[in-house]
């Protein structure tokens, strides 16, 4: 297989970005990624753009085309990728495959979402449609907090996980978010803050849920030949990608305490990369809700099934612990602009593996120089796991 590396990354400030339109937001990520890679717009042969809100929470129906025109990328091959909340990772796989296949030497994986042009209730409704639309959304009115409340309840019933365990995940992610200049939420919180916040879908409270965020992230990928030609200092190699899917219908899942697609995608990524879970230095996992982060620890083999809460209680998920997770704040505090999230995970891992995290207190000490990104679409309808290696 042809070797492919991440050679440039850019990420906008995440947050409520009513100060810019869609293409201006895109430019804020594209420009620094080109500068970081030391390439020009004309070098980008292909762009895979991850987004889900086109024609829904923002109006533009062909985001890839208008972003390409505004950023000077017209002429490149273009495709928009959707895998619900894993759309950014689907775009990354698509751009990676295009380069790895030998068709081209440089491609861009790009993710963007502008979710704050509609009000919160509309956003929650639109996101809710990304489960099993015709049955669960239409007939039962399930929204995403409702779905993940089912997962939390199942995990609690099976393993004795507590509301405090969930709260501690939020506290950790807000701690790192408060240190991260691009994070949406930059306030430190306490376990009490979480427990006393408004109940959204019991047992999940406001602070168990990620915010609704605008943002974009841009990743430039290149072949090994191009990496040499460009004399890239610190290429970050794509070691392996795993992917899987789950049933639309939740009643066909074996368990709510785990996401089958997450387990399968993780195992495939480890196998392809030739890496074990205990070799991962830093991980980005899909914490749209606090329970999702705990389930991810278990699905990815960072601990045994049911031992996620123990990992939290011991603080092994922080810098200095066994497996530092979401030290950029995660979806929970950095924010979750849906289509951008997968690329933004790669952005953070790239900067961590290059040992250039900002500020320095957020830099994870590297042993093996291996990072993992875990990005879930829907409630385990899609999952992509990407392993990077310096």
Residue positions annotated with a catalytic role: 85, 336
State yes or no: residue 251 binds its own copies (CB under 8 A).
no
Binder to its own copies among 3, 38, 65, 186 (CB under 8 A)?
65
Q: Which CB sits closer to its own copies, 94 or 153? A: 94
State yes or no: residue 248 binds its own copies (CB under 8 A).
yes
State yes or no: residue 115 binds its own copies (CB under 8 A).
no
State yes or no: residue 20 binds its own copies (CB under 8 A).
no
CA pair distance 350, 288, nearest whole angstrom? 21
Q: Distance of CA 349 to CAs 7, 345, 390, Å?
A: 12, 6, 10
The stretch near its own copies (CB under 8 A) out of 34-42, 76-84, 174-182, 334-342 is 76-84
Binder to its own copies among 18, 19, 75, 140 (CB under 8 A)?
75
State yes or no: residue 243 binds its own copies (CB under 8 A).
yes
CA pair distance 69, 63, nearest whole angstrom? 10
Binder to its own copies among 209, 329, 384, 386 (CB under 8 A)?
384
Q: Which CB sits closer to its own copies, 14 or 382? A: 382
The stretch near its own copies (CB under 8 A) out of 155-163, 248-256, 292-300, 319-327 is 248-256
State yes or no: residue 78 binds its own copies (CB under 8 A).
yes
State yes or no: residue 355 binds its own copies (CB under 8 A).
no
Q: Distance of CA 30 to CAs 19, 84, 206, Å?
A: 17, 22, 33
142-201 residues in contact with its own copies (CB under 8 A) are none
What are the phi and psi torsion angles at 154 (to 5°)?
-65, -40
State yes or no: residue 100 binds its own copies (CB under 8 A).
yes
State yes or no: residue 60 binds its own copies (CB under 8 A).
yes
Q: Which helix (H) or strand (E) holds 281?
A: none
CA pair distance 347, 6, nearest whole angstrom? 9
The stretch near its own copies (CB under 8 A) out of 127-135, 180-188, 273-281, 296-304 is 127-135
Binder to its own copies among 186, 247, 316, 363 (CB under 8 A)?
247
The stretch near its own copies (CB under 8 A) out of 90-98, 148-156, 203-211, 319-327 is 90-98
Select from 158, 156, 145, 63 the least CA-distant residue to 110: 63
CA pair distance 228, 168, nearest whole angstrom? 44
CB 287 within 8 A of CB 207: no
CA pair distance 292, 276, nearest whole angstrom? 21
Note the Cα 193 to chain centre separation in Å.
25
Binder to its own copies among 264, 282, 294, 349 (CB under 8 A)?
264
Going by their DSSP bridges, the two strands 215-223 and 46-50 should be labelled as unpaired
CA pair distance 125, 137, nearest whole angstrom? 9
Minimal distance, residue 4 CB to its own copies, in Å: 9
CA pair distance 90, 146, nearest whole angstrom? 25
State yes or no: residue 254 binds its own copies (CB under 8 A).
no
Q: Distance of CA 322 to CAs 233, 278, 281, 316, Å?
A: 29, 8, 8, 5
Q: Which CB sits closer to its own copies, 327 or 387? A: 387
Minimal distance, residue 345 CB to its own copies, in Å: 17
CA pair distance 353, 201, nearest whole angstrom? 37
Q: Which CB sits closer to its own copies, 309 or 339? A: 339
CA pair distance 353, 281, nearest whole angstrom? 9
Those residues with Cβ within 8 angstroms of residue 198's Cβ, 6 or more apart along the chain or in another chain: 205, 206
Binder to its own copies among 81, 269, 280, 357 (CB under 8 A)?
81
Going by their DSSP bridges, the two strands 215-223 and 106-113 should be labelled as antiparallel
The stretch near its own copies (CB under 8 A) out of 129-137, 142-150, 182-190, 295-303 is 129-137
Binder to its own copies among 41, 162, 186, 245 (CB under 8 A)?
245
Q: Distance of CA 103 to CAs 41, 143, 230, 283, Å?
A: 18, 41, 18, 30
List contacts with its own copies (CB under 8 A).
1-2, 46, 52, 54-56, 59-62, 64-66, 68-69, 73-84, 90, 93-94, 96-98, 100-103, 129-130, 132-134, 241, 243-249, 252, 261, 264, 272, 378, 381-382, 384
């Amino acid at each position: 297989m042809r070797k492919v590396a991440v050679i440039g990354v850019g990420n906008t400030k995440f947050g409520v970005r009513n100060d810019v339109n869609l293409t201006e937001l895109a430019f804020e990520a594209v420009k620094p990624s080109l500068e970081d890679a030391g390439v020009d717009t004309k070098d980008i042969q292909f762009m895979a753009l991850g987004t889900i809100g086109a024609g829904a929470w923002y109006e533009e129906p062909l985001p890839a085309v208008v972003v390409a025109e505004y950023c000077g990328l017209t002429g490149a091959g273009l495709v928009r990728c959707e895998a619900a909340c894993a759309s950014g990772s689907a775009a990354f796989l698509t751009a990676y495959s295009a380069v790895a296949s030998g068709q081209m030497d440089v491609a861009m994986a790009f993710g963007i979402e502008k979710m704050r042009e509609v009000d919160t209730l509309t956003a929650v409704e639109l996101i809710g449609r990304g489960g099993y639309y015709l049955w669960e959304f239409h007939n039962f009115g399930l929204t995403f907090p409702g779905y993940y409340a089912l997962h939390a309840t199942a995990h609690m019933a099976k393993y004795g996980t507590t509301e405090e365990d969930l709260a501690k995940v939020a506290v950790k992610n807000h701690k790192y978010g408060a240190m991260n200049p691009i994070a949406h939420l930059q306030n430190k919180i306490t376990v009490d803050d979480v427990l006393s916040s408004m109940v959204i879908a019991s047992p999940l409270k406001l602070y168990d849920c990620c915010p609704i965020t605008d943002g974009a992230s841009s990743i430039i990928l290149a072949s090994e030949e191009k990496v040499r030609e460009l004399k890239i200092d610190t290429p970050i190699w794509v070691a392996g990608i795993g992917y899987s899917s789950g049933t639309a219908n939740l009643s066909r899942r074996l368990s709510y305490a785990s996401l089958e697609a997450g387990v399968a995608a993780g195992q495939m990524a480890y196998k392809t990369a030739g890496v074990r879970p205990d070799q991962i230095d830093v991980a980005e996992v899909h914490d749209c809700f606090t329970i999702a982060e705990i389930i991810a620890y278990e699905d990815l083999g960072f601990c045994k099934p049911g031992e996620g809460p123990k990992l939290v209680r011991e603080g092994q998920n922080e810098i200095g612990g066994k497996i530092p997770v979401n030290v950029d704040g995660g979806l929970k505090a950095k924010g979750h602009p849906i289509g951008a999230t997968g690329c933004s995970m790669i952005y953070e891992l790239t900067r961590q593996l290059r040992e250039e995290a900002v500020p320095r207190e957020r830099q994870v000490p590297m042993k093996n120089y291996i990072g993992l990104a875990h990005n879930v679409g829907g409630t385990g309808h899609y999952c992509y796991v990407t392993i990077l290696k310096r």
